[in-house]
Amino acid sequence: METLIKPASGAMIESLQRTLGADAVLLAAQDQQRYLTDWRGQFQGKALAVLRPSSVDQVAGIMRACHGSGVQVVPQGGNSGLAGGATPSASGEQLVLSLERMNRVRLIDPIDDSMIVEAGCILQQVQEQAAEAGKYFPLSFGAEGSAQVGGFLSTNAGGTAVIRYGNARALTLGLEVVLPDGAIWHGLKRLRKDNTGYDLKQLFIGAEGTLGIITAAALRLYPRARQSCVALVAFGSPRQAQKGLARFKDELGEFLSAYELISQPALSLAQSHLHMAPALLPDAPWVALVQVATANSSLALGELVENVLASCFDDGIAADAVVATNERQAAAFWRIRESITAAERAAGKSVKHDVSVPIGAIPGFLDAVQQAVGEAHPELRIIAFGHMGDGNIHLNILLPADAGAQHLAAALNTLVHDIVTSFEGSISAEHGIGQYRVSELIRLKSPTEIALMQKIKQALDTTGQMNPGKVLPAPRD
Ligand code: 2HG
Ligand code: ZN
């Protein structure tokens, strides 16, 4: 076992081993490995130790031990993040604090439509537990089989159901948080209305572990759908797809539960990754995966969808559509959509963008990027897709595997983000800043906003020990 531990840290590790148990303190390189890199293998760090506490009191004990010692803490969930927010630095002096063993469902209340879950619960299990209670937890995205509650809240994750139910922020009623000094904030109230001052939970959601450690959350539940209808709709352009979105919203209102835009290159990449042939809508430059769902079992939902599609065809908005005729086919459509990220990873290096612009600006934004990238780098392939209903586009660019790729990635980031800014958009809609976008955040957010964020950070994390270098630059940077 090879470990390099400073004497002062060594005493802390020994004491943590005594209080947490030896199996909760990983020191060996082979045991630590999976906690030291992100899912895409973009970021690589080192750790003094990986800690795996199993209760809020243990998390509090760790933070008390670290507070004022200079030892920094990097909270980690399912490690499925896309911005390196949970990967430690290369210093080897940080502690990774994995919440994976805090994985109990503490409460499900079907009358209150809420559940209380610990930070290490996996999203898919949360969805399943809600379903067993006859309810629905709407947050959903490709990595739901590994993403954990603490991680999806710390990144304020979005996914495919935001159009109807909002992002992780909107789905949270309360939090339990361990603060940097080890104090516990018991904020697990399940209230829909609470105007007693600042909304503290919103400080920790989306903070990527830089202000404290989320250990449990009270989440909102919804009625489960008794029927749904899924279709792939072919459009000639993003502008047409946008008209289709407006039509579905106008006609079907709150039944619309997903509207995912997929460009032909993204569709083909996913289909060939899944060894699926041939393309379902071969001539469509753009496709929208549309899902409509309701708790009402007597509505003729399929007919309603067919009517909207017919009006889109009549008005020349959509060119073609395939409506899933059974659950298996609907699941296959979703599998294509949710495989784009894995297909892209398998295709090699890429530079990712997770941007948002006002919904009406999406076509202009896509045109502008395609033109600018096309002019500067005609050889590069753009994989564009995303949550059109939320104005959130993933505009990823496949990179050549040569040595200049790093430099090219930075140049493409600047190019795309400058265009986003010109459309009054955001450089991260749902993946977060992590370590990947810190310099771009500093470049593009106003000095007033950065100063406010820094004041909040300093007020809550007085010793600068919580996940330094994520979201905001580490003080020494
Ligand atoms: C999705 O929408 C995820 O599938 C991942 O947010 C996006 O891989 C991406 O860029
Ligand atoms: Zn997404």
pLDDT, tens digit (0-9, with 9 covering 90-100), for 181-198: 999 999 999 999 999 999
The atom of ligand 1 lying closest to the CA of 430 is: 6
The atom of ligand 1 lying closest to the CA of 142 is: 4
Q: What is the pLDDT of residue 251?
A: 98
Q: How far is the CA of 385 from the centre of ligand 1 (A)?
A: 8
Q: How far is the CA of 85 from the centre of ligand 1 (A)?
A: 16
Residue 164 has pLDDT above 90, yes or no: yes
Q: What is the pLDDT of residue 5?
A: 53
Judged by DSSP in three states, 167 sits in coil
Which phi and psi (to 5°) does residue 475 adopt?
A: -50, -35
Ligand 1 site, residue 426, Cβ cutoff 6 A: no
> Which residue is associated with the tokens 């265009």?
419
Model confidence pLDDT, tens digit, residues 48-57: 999 999 999 9
Q: How far is the CA of 353 from the centre of ligand 1 (A)?
A: 9
Residues with Cβ within 8 Å of 7's Cβ and at least 6 positions away in sequence, in order, are: none
Residues with Cβ within 8 Å of 118's Cβ and at least 6 positions away in sequence, in order, are: 99, 102, 103, 104, 105, 106, 149, 215, 216
Q: What is the pLDDT of residue 404?
A: 77
Q: What is the pLDDT of residue 277?
A: 75
Q: What average pLDDT does range 461-474 have in this prediction?
A: 97
The encoded tokens of residue 336 equal 């294509």
Per DSSP, the residues of 255-267 read GEEEEEEEEHHHH
Residue 369 has pLDDT above 70, yes or no: yes
Q: What is the pLDDT of residue 196?
A: 97
Prior bond of 473 cis (ω within 30°): no
Q: What is the pLDDT of residue 403?
A: 60
Q: What average pLDDT does range 116-123 have in this prediction?
A: 98
Model confidence pLDDT, tens digit, residues 70-108: 999 999 999 999 999 999 999 999 999 999 999 999 999
Residue 474 has pLDDT above 80, yes or no: yes
Question: Which of 134, 157, 154, 124 minimizes the C-alpha distance to 217?
Answer: 154
Listed as own residue / partner, the contacts of 23-31 with beta carbons closer than 8 Å and 24 or more positions apart are 23/52, 24/51, 24/52, 24/53, 24/54, 24/58, 24/101, 25/49, 25/50, 25/51, 25/52, 26/50, 26/51, 26/52, 27/1, 27/3, 28/1, 28/2, 28/3, 29/1, 29/2, 29/3
pLDDT band at residue 8 under the 50/70/90 scheme: low
How far apart are alpha carbons 182 and 279 in whole angstroms?
A: 54
Q: What is the pLDDT of residue 2?
A: 40
Q: How far is the CA of 338 from the centre of ligand 2 (A)?
A: 9
Instruction: Give the chain's mean pLDDT.
Output: 96
Listed as own residue / partner, the contacts of 410-416 with beta carbons closer than 8 Å and 24 or more positions apart are 411/376, 412/351, 412/373, 412/377, 412/380, 413/351, 413/353, 413/440, 414/440, 415/369, 415/372, 415/373, 415/376, 416/353, 416/355, 416/369, 416/373
Question: Which of 169, 153, 155, 31 minimizes the C-alpha distance to 85?
Answer: 155
Question: Which of 168, 245, 235 minimizes the C-alpha distance to 204?
Answer: 168
CB 87 within 8 A of CB 435: yes
Ligand 1 site, residue 341, Cβ cutoff 6 A: yes
Q: How far is the CA of 394 from the centre of ligand 1 (A)?
A: 6
Residue 208 has pLDDT above 60, yes or no: yes
Q: Of all residues in the chain, what percent carry a pLDDT higher than 70?
A: 97
Q: What is the pLDDT of residue 3?
A: 42
Q: What is the pLDDT of residue 42?
A: 93
Ligand 1 site, residue 242, Cβ cutoff 6 A: no
DSSP letter (8 states) at residue 237: S
Q: Of all residues in the chain, what percent carry a pLDDT higher than 90?
A: 94
Residue 122 has pLDDT above 50, yes or no: yes
Question: Which of 78, 87, 19, 24 minimizes the C-alpha distance to 50?
Answer: 24
Q: Could you tell me the pTM of the whole model?
A: 0.96
pLDDT band at residue 475 under the 50/70/90 scheme: confident
CB 204 within 8 A of CB 175: yes
Taken in order 10, 12, 15, 17, the sign of the CA dihedral is negative
Q: How far is the CA of 92 from the centre of ligand 2 (A)?
A: 32
Question: Which of 440, 470, 464 minimizes the C-alpha distance to 354?
Answer: 440
Which phi and psi (to 5°) does residue 192 adopt?
A: -85, -25
Q: What is the pLDDT of residue 6?
A: 57
Length of the chain: 477
Residue 280 has pLDDT above 90, yes or no: no
How far apart are alpha carbons 265 and 192 in whole angstroms?
A: 43
Residue 7 has pLDDT above 60, yes or no: no
Ligand 1 site, residue 156, Cβ cutoff 6 A: no
Name the region of 4 (left: φ>0; alpha: ψ -120 to 50; beta: rest). beta
Ligand 1 site, residue 436, Cβ cutoff 6 A: no
